Structure 1
């Protein structure tokens, strides 16, 4: 499935060995949060792309239905006011572990993601210029939970000078 799904959709990429490391880091970090008494949700996207389309610009991750429903119920009554982003490169991809944090309720949502920066240079520049990045967590029917962040730098590779 490496064909674009529409005129404005990026090509899907295959995650490499770095993906296993991101998942392991997510599990270890979520365990640390739970040991401190926090509510955690670890997500497992089936696909992840950096997208710039008429409908959305940002990081788009597709979730299984049950995980999406759990995420949807968590965000209904909590204010996610903080984000931690861990970024690493490998296999010519950018790997991310995004932790959406609701400090008042001690809740953390862990969103692993990846994208191919060589296929998304225009999108990266568009996000940099806008000064915000959106994280779309959605399921295949397009129901979406959206997180918006005013500092896109942690989500993007270092600018080439």
Structure 2
């Protein structure tokens, strides 16, 4: 069952720098198509609407993805109901920006969360170093209120770099 996208939050920054807006829109469409494929296969899938993405190389580390409150609530519900065990990351680079479609799966439950994201190529070095040291990468979803997080772990950080 494909869950609908949340309503955009007017205070959220939407996407990467203006120089790559067209590529970002294409990536968002690709993420929607990826979610539709899972849906067609009978999975419960939620494609989040990404606002700002911030790389964190301290504690915690990973990608901090701002999402609308409704999207955060849906992702939280899915995480509570399923055990996510597989990650896929599709990536491309253009004009100094790395574009990512992050898919986390709960294989046994046939549940997937699809997260379009971006990262400045200049921000990848410190994050990649930390992820390689730890042997894991994290994607943190958070609402604008910043009161909670849904965190997905990815056992192969090289998927991102």
The interval holding the TM-score normalised by the smaller chain is: 0.7 to 0.9
SS of the equivalent of 2:156 reads: coil
Mapped partners of 2:54, 2:97: distance in 1: 11
CA contact (8 A) 1:18 1:91 kept: no
For residues 88-126 of structure 1, the C-alpha deviation after alignment (integer angstroms, 9 at most, x for no partner) is: 101210110001101111111000100112134222212
Matching residue within 79, 82, 93 for 1:89: 93
Q: TM-score, normalised by structure 2?
A: 0.83
CA contact (8 A) 1:137 1:144 kept: yes
Counterpart residue number, 2:11: none
Q: TM-score, normalised by structure 1?
A: 0.83
Counterpart residue number, 1:33: 38
RMSD: 1.6
Return the offset for 1:13. 5.0
Mapped partners of 1:135, 1:119: distance in 2: 15
Structure 1: gaps of 5 or more residues: 1-11, 157-161
Are 1:131 and 2:135 an aligned pair?
Answer: yes
CA contact (8 A) 2:128 2:157 kept: no
Are 1:50 and 2:58 an aligned pair?
Answer: no
Return the offset for 1:30. 1.1
Structure 2: gaps of 5 or more residues: 1-14
Q: Which runs of 4+ in 1 moved over 4 A?
A: none
Are 1:19 and 2:30 an aligned pair?
Answer: no
Mapped partners of 2:16, 2:41: distance in 1: 36
Matching residue within 75, 80, 95 for 1:76: 80
In the alignment of these two chains, the number of paired residues is 144
